[in-house]
Amino acid sequence: MNLGPWDIAMLQWMINLLIALSHFLFNNFGLTIIIFTLIIRFVLLPLTLRQLRATKAMTTLQPKLMELQKKYGKDKQKLAQEQMALYKESGVSPAGCAIPMVIQFPIWIALYQAIILVLAVSPEALLNLSRYFYSWALPLASLPMNNNFLGLNLAEGNAALAVVVGITMWVQQKMVTPTTQDPRTAQQSQMMLWMMPIIFTFFSLSFPSGLALYWVVSNIFSIVVQYFVTGWGGLNFSFRRGSKESGSDRDRKLKKRLAVEEAARKEIANKSSDDAEKEGIDDGKSGDIRENSGGSDQKGSNPIKRWFGRG
């Protein structure tokens, strides 16, 4: 009744589903939020996986992109051409990271708007909720929802749950934060790694803890999915090499390892160039990193191609 397109397309069905679900979950709204969040996240799983795979592929390409940047930094047109060629060859689309996220974003927004509406934290909110009911018989006996869940009042902010939101978000962010040689990017990544959890912790304190519960469940789901797709990612060093290493120690080791790899790559490149000269063959591509790339991108063993071949 007097609902806008967004309400009809996104909120109405979610709200009715939440209410119906709570009926089968012992009128426990905390449990309903958990199950409902998991259902939505499972439905969106194909998009999430696609996004994670694309992000992983982009991360793997980072060293090559950096090299291209160094090589063609002054010639923007050539740089763009080479980057496109690299993307094409690797089967990676830069839009592949963003599009699934853009598609999921409205659903996430609708999900927590629906949770807020069903929580009905004020008399106006309860009255407003009635606009969203379908005409078929809904189990309305539980409305407004019982907001108590494991001793929490889901309609009020909760400091402990807000901290859990921050921690889970930090872990999730840490897993997706790429290790990079570019100090500016590294600094930005570090900022985002800390700012996002801080902001969401603040939001969790300010908004009903039912929302915080949604964020916690959603974050844990993301962590699990990311673990199976990309492994521990940015958490590698902390978990595998012991947590006593400081960030700067790790950075120094990473730089040292990358320097060794760089030297090895140059050596291989020089050697193959000498061999070609000796054989009187020069195909003019001896400096092209697409042909001479070192590390994990040896011919026939491109992990990106293998990954996408699987997907």
Partner 1 sequence: MNLKRNRKLLIKLSVAISFLLIAAILLTGCVSGMAPIGWSGVSIGNNGMAYAGSKEGKLVAINLTNNAVQFSDALKIPPATGLSCASSSGSSGSACGGAAPAVAIYGDPAFVTDVPIIGNTVGNIVVVAGYNGVVIAYDASNPRTIVWQYPINGYLKPIISGVTVSDRTLYFGCTDKNVYALDVTRGIEKWRSTLGDQIWSTPVVDNNLVFVGSFDKNIYALDAGSGNKVWSFPTGANTVSTPLLADGVVYVGSLDRNLYAIDEKTGQKKWSYPAGNWFWAKPVIVNGVIFAPNLDGKVYKLDINTGKPVADPSDLGGQVSSWPVVINNQVIVATQNGKLLSLDTANFSAGPNLISSIVQNVSAPLAAVGSIVYINGPDNNLYTYNISNGAKTTISLKQ
DSSP reduced 3-state for 298 = coil
Distance CA 35, CA 141 (A): 20
Q: How far is the CB of 252 from partner 1 (least distance, A)?
A: 19
In contact, 59 and 178? CB cutoff 8 Å: yes
**Residue nearer to partner 1 on the CB measure, 135 or 243:** 135
Query: Rounded to the nearest whole angstrom, what is the least distance from the CB of residue 205 to partner 1 in the complex?
Result: 5
What's 52's DSSP letter?
H
Interface mask toward partner 1 for 153-192; x: CB under 8 A: x-xxx--------------------------x--xx--x-
Residue whose CB is less far from partner 1, 157 or 178: 157
Q: Say whether 66 sits in a helix, a strand or coil.
A: helix
CA 218, 221, 227: angle at the middle one, nearest 5?
A: 140
> Least separation, in Å, of the C-beta of 282 and partner 1?
40
Which ranges of the chain would DSSP assign to H, the alpha helix? 5-6, 12-24, 29-43, 45-72, 76-90, 95-119, 123-129, 159-176, 183-206, 209-230, 236-240, 247-278, 289-292, 303-310
Give min distance, CB of 38 to partner 1, in A.
Answer: 21
**Tokens 């797709």 label which residue?**
229
Q: Which residues pair with 28 in a beta bridge?
A: 146
Stretch that binds partner 1, among 40-48, 64-72, 164-172, 204-212 (CB under 8 A): 204-212
Q: Taken in order 58, 62, 67, 70, is the CA torsion positive or negative?
A: positive
Q: How many CB atoms lie within 10 A of CB 102?
A: 12
From residue 136 to residue 155, the character string flagging contacts with partner 1 as x (rule: CB under 8 A) and all else as - is ----xx-xx--------x-x
Min CB(304)–partner 1 separation in Å: 29
Alpha carbon distance, N-terminus to C-terminus of the chain? 44
- 92: tokens are 């990676």
Smaller CB separation from partner 1, 10 or 21? 10
255 CB-near residues (< 8 Å, 6+ apart):
181
Q: Looking at 21, 38, 107, 203, which residue binds partner 1 (CB under 8 A)?
A: 203
Nearer to partner 1, 124 or 279 (CB): 124
Selected from 77, 124, 299, 300, the binder of partner 1 by CB under 8 A is 124
DSSP string, 127-181: HHHGGG--SS---GGGPSPB-EETTEETTS--HHHHHHHHHHHHHHHHHHPPP-S
Residues 99-118, mask of contacts with partner 1 (x by CB under 8 A)? ----------x--xx--xx-
Q: Which is nearer to partner 1, 110 or 235 (CB)?
A: 110
Contact between 199 and partner 1 by CB under 8 A: the answer reads: yes
The span of 18-26, 33-41, 127-135, 231-239 binding partner 1 (CB under 8 A) equals 127-135
Q: Which residues bind partner 1 (CB under 8 A)?
A: 1-2, 109, 112-113, 116-117, 121-128, 130-131, 133, 135, 140-141, 143-144, 153, 155-157, 184, 187-188, 191, 195, 199, 203, 205-209, 211
